[in-house]
Amino acid sequence: MNVAAPHRRGLTAVIAAAAALLVGGIIAGSSFLDRLMTLLPPVPGARAAAGFVAIVAIGAFVWLFVHLSDLARARSRRAALEQTMRGEVSCGIRSRMLVRSLNELLPEGSREVQLARRYSIVVDPSGISFWNGGRRPRRAIHFPWREVRNIRSDTIVVGTSLVPVLVMRVRRGGTSVELPIMLGTERPGSFALSEAPFYAVVRSWKAKHRDALRAEGLDLSPTTAPTSLGRSRSQLALR
């Protein structure tokens, strides 16, 4: 049986229900507005206002459809990775800061790293890898444990809120950068992980990092206390 089939069936049911509610609301609302308009004197721009409301409703439906499709792909990807990989799978939320930092590590002329809105992260004995795709995951980039200098927790500003991020310092080819990774889930209506679930992932990654370095006979990097990422980098832009 296809592991993604239950997710697709669930997504189809949710989208069908949302579409039915939207269409029903538009139909019911339009009849009500028609009756109301007959009782009111003519007002210039009434049709423009009704058109604007319809455009907003259609835009909201399109956004909902795209958002649910992204989440369905992320769930399918997780299921496929959990069946084929022997590591811990987490969900990440894309940010411009993370994508920019990843591309700073690439040699000149290399193809830029691209991440899905909800991408997957696999942490296994070989290192940490970032994945896109759906039922057939595609690896975007991979970091062996020897390239990972340290892992710590921090917070970053998103709008007016402080959101926890996992900060991983990586050194490759003489370039050292910090990767601010915002962790999330593939569930509708959820955003970033916080509190106990977030810190459980941080502790797990740090433990795997220590075990991998010991297995290779490498020195452990000193523990780095949480510090601010700096005001110039604190505004996290999401796409």
Helix, strand, coil fractions of the chain, as percent rounded to 5: 45, 25, 30
* CATH code that applies to domain 86-233: 2.30.29.30
Tokens of 212: 């991998």
pLDDT in the model for residue 95: 92
Q: Dihedrals φ, ψ of 209, to 5°?
A: -60, -50
Per-residue pLDDT of the chain (239 residues; tens, 9 = 90+): 444 445 455 555 556 566 665 655 655 555 555 655 566 565 556 666 667 677 777 777 676 666 667 777 878 888 899 898 889 999 999 999 999 999 999 988 889 999 999 999 999 999 999 999 988 999 999 999 999 999 999 998 887 888 899 999 999 988 999 999 999 987 766 678 888 999 999 999 999 999 998 887 776 665 544 444 443 344 454 44
pLDDT score for 94: 92
What integer pLDDT is reported at residue 27 of this predicted model? 57
Instruction: Output the pLDDT for position 97.
Output: 93
| For the chain, domain boundaries | 5-80, 86-233
**pTM for the predicted model, two decimal places:** 0.68
Torsional class of 140: left (φ above 0), alpha (ψ -120 to 50), beta (otherwise): alpha
Listing DSSP states for 85-140 in one string gives -SSEEEEEE--HHHHHHHHHTSPTTPPPP---SEEEEEEETTEEEEEE-SSS-EEE
Q: What pLDDT score does 177 carry?
A: 95
Q: Give pLDDT, residue 191.
A: 75
Alpha-carbon distance of 121 to 153, in angstroms, equals 16
- Amino acid present at 220: L
**pLDDT at residue number 200:** 94
